[in-house]
Amino acid sequence: MLKKEENHSTLVAYQRNVYYHIQKGIKENRDTLGSIQEALDASLANWKTSIEGNLVIPEINIELDKFIGPLQNKVELVINQNGEIVARIKKIEERVSRTKVLIQGISPEALRINVSDKHHEIANSFQSFKSLLEQNETGNFEYEGKAYHINDFDNNSFDYFTGFRAFNELLTKSIIETIAPECEIANKFLIKANTYSNWEVDHRISDVAKEIIVKSFVGVIGNSFGKLMAIGKENFSDIKQSNYILRAINIVSSSLDLIIFAFLSEFWNAQKLNNKVISEGTKKVIRDRLESSFEPSLMEQFKLLQLLHIIFYQAGDELDFPIPEIKNLNTKLRDGGEIFEICRRFQTLVEKTKNSHLTRLDCYESETQLVAFFKHFNCLAKYKMASIRRISYLQVRNENPNYIHHYAAIGINNKANVDSEKINFTTGPVSTDAVLLYKGKDYQNSINLSPFVIDYNSLTFENGTKICFYNSQTIDGGSLKYHFLEDNSSIDIEKMDSLYAKSDINDLMMDENKRKQFNLGLVVHQFKDAHRFLLMDELNLGDF
């Protein structure tokens, strides 16, 4: 029935009208109706008897998108049973199709609307526009050649959509409020900023908040926030929308990877000391991440984080959480939980970017979901990253030995320097050519993220930093593929035929090209070791 072309538009009209009238959540009527299926039956019974007029359906609590399949089947049955309903719905469809609503112009104060060739000018507000649509018995409208429905909006999203709210405004205020409990400078800022009403629209104040966000978030995440804020200030265009959404997705994906790599690094260390048996299902998820030839999806990243969290949570005192602040997120990380839902909605945005059907509403969605994400991971505002580039040894006669650590502080500091070079004169060593995740001022108590996160420039003796996250293996399995977060480029690190024998080290150190090759080979060697202890088997990456 639904496949017949003459009935398709009828069903679409029906669905649009039902969707318009069934809006309230499920809490109010679940108890009286007994179940969602009974609610569905009741709504269709009411629909069948009240098809005349405007097709007003009682507000039965149904989440329509979750039950569209059963709904379509019942619509098909009802239409088959009563052919008159088809004609009645078609009349409604004809009336709705004649009512065309176009937003023709937007200013801070007013909206210029064309309703079936009649011109209106109303206040630039959600309630004014919604009232106009209700007066014309429709919820559909068009703007700049794209179709929308009023039920996709609320006050905030409509202000964002019309440009009354600029990019970054709601994001900046919400993020600074989210990290304030974990970030002293953000908390101090809010105390002063909140003496001004709507401070987020005042660039004198909001720009300070943006700087605090960029400087506070851990390393590469802070840098990405800086790029997001910069895109938000660009003139409006389709490219801006796309870049804005992609950067928001990048921030979430990078944050998930950072947390996952912290878990894997700590689990690797623990497995080397005392092998913990994990299920084959869990092994498969870890193996898929380490051996895949393709970049993981956001939902695949979520699944791995979920399983690693379970391993550490169930281990109790046997395993210390690499990031203790997320220990109690177990209920949020369940399937259907809050973090699951955030990742699912970002995955939907990923699919939209592939189809290039992006709108300002999608940009608003990326902002709201980014805020929701960091409500759970606001602790990342108190962590830091460092790239240990080289270590010198110093011992004066009759004095205790010292080490000189040459490192880069990843991120933007208070002087607006990116990945600034620093020196630490100390009595203890630290792993060389390593990227460290730590909290506080001392990176001696840190998580070594290598080889999952590397500084490619440090390994190849180049100036500056080039922080790269492990992405996947190449198709032939002969190289590890890393993702450079700054510009989304890829770097392949090829396997070595063999590591140099210790007897060759002195000669090797005299040749810079061989030293580069050796350093990159060590990355692959470490990756193989991590794979072996995480999964207790060998990685098929050829000879090392």
Residue ranges per structural domain of the chain = 101-162
Task: Give 481's contacts (C-beta < 8 A, 6+ positions apart).
Answer: 470, 471, 472, 473, 474, 490, 491, 492
Residue 509 identity (one-letter amino acid): M
Q: What is the dihedral of CA 479, 481, 484, 487, to 10 degrees?
A: 110
* 172, pLDDT greater than 60: yes
Please say if the pLDDT value at position 230 is more than 90: yes
Q: What is the pLDDT of residue 417?
A: 61
Look up the pTM and report it: 0.78
Say if residue 301's pLDDT is above 50: yes
- Structure token pair of residue 110: 């007013």
Per-residue model confidence as pLDDT tens digits over 515-543: 888 889 889 999 999 999 998 765 554 43
Mean pLDDT of 342-369: 91
Dmax of the chain from CA atoms? Answer: 103
> In angstroms, rounded to a whole number, what is the distance separating the alpha carbons of residues 51 and 397?
97
Lowest-pLDDT range of 19-28, 252-261, 410-419, 491-500: 19-28
Q: Alpha-carbon distance 139 to 32, whole Å?
A: 29
Output the average pLDDT for the chain.
81
pLDDT tens per residue across span 103-122: 988 888 899 999 888 899 99
Residue 288 backbone dihedrals phi, psi, to 5 degrees: -60, -40
Cβ atoms 391, 403 nearer than 8 A? yes
